[in-house]
Structure 1
């Protein structure tokens, strides 16, 4: 079964690059959202296995709460993408971790692979992924 990925990123060129990389690696990108409302609309219509969520979106710093919501309500594996440190009080339960932007394609793909397999202990966490405990 192909893993389905939602990209939540307000920088469209970054989002399109992520989409191309993930598609080339066999992931199915279900859509790109630039704000929390668009992400919720995309998530409502389909199964999402993994969500890559930027912390700062077009509608403000809504990525943290959106990621927590997708993990809790949609059972998605969520990985935050951000260029800024994320304080410990903004690291909700259920979210896998964080990749610092910019991230190379190997780090992104390794983080997604890890998120999808982490409960089976099949892969060690990639070095670039800051895990939330």
Structure 2
């Protein structure tokens, strides 16, 4: 998968980029604010994105998520405060809470890869990934 990372904390972005690449995926780029994220979404058309809610320009990750959903690009929020996620998850597949473990991230990425590939029947999310209610509804054959 070609993955966009939207994260304003560079150390976390670098760690996530390393894990994504170690799992055999390509990171198309990293954005730290909503304007750059939206530009990259439109320019790169990633297959998937990890999106932090709180970016350099404020809690704009939700708007980035809605832009991704509008383009039909699946994504998950990566946030230290999952209570900030709207009830409808802004179209996200789910969320990963910070701080996350490398093992938790790898398990979530494996689930995401399978889910995005369309293999949803019987797929169970790992504990590290909170799934949105609409994603669970989509799993039903």
Aligned partners of 2:32 and 2:56 also within 8 Å: yes
Once superposed, what is the RMSD of the aligned Cα atoms? 1.8
For normalisation by structure 1, the TM-score amounts to: 0.87
1:25-64 mapped onto 2 (5 Å cutoff): 25-64=23-62
The structure with more strand, counted as a fraction of residues: 1
**Of 97, 101, 105, which aligns to 1:100?**
97
For normalisation by structure 2, the TM-score amounts to: 0.83
Q: SS at 2:83's partner residue?
A: coil
Alpha-carbon distance between aligned partners in 2 of 1:54 and 1:69, rounded to the nearest angstrom: 14
* Cα offset, 1:76, TM superposition: 1.5
Aligned partners of 1:77 and 1:115 also within 8 Å: no
Q: Which runs of 4+ in 1 moved over 4 A?
A: none
Q: Between Structure 1 and Structure 2, how many residues are aligned? A: 130
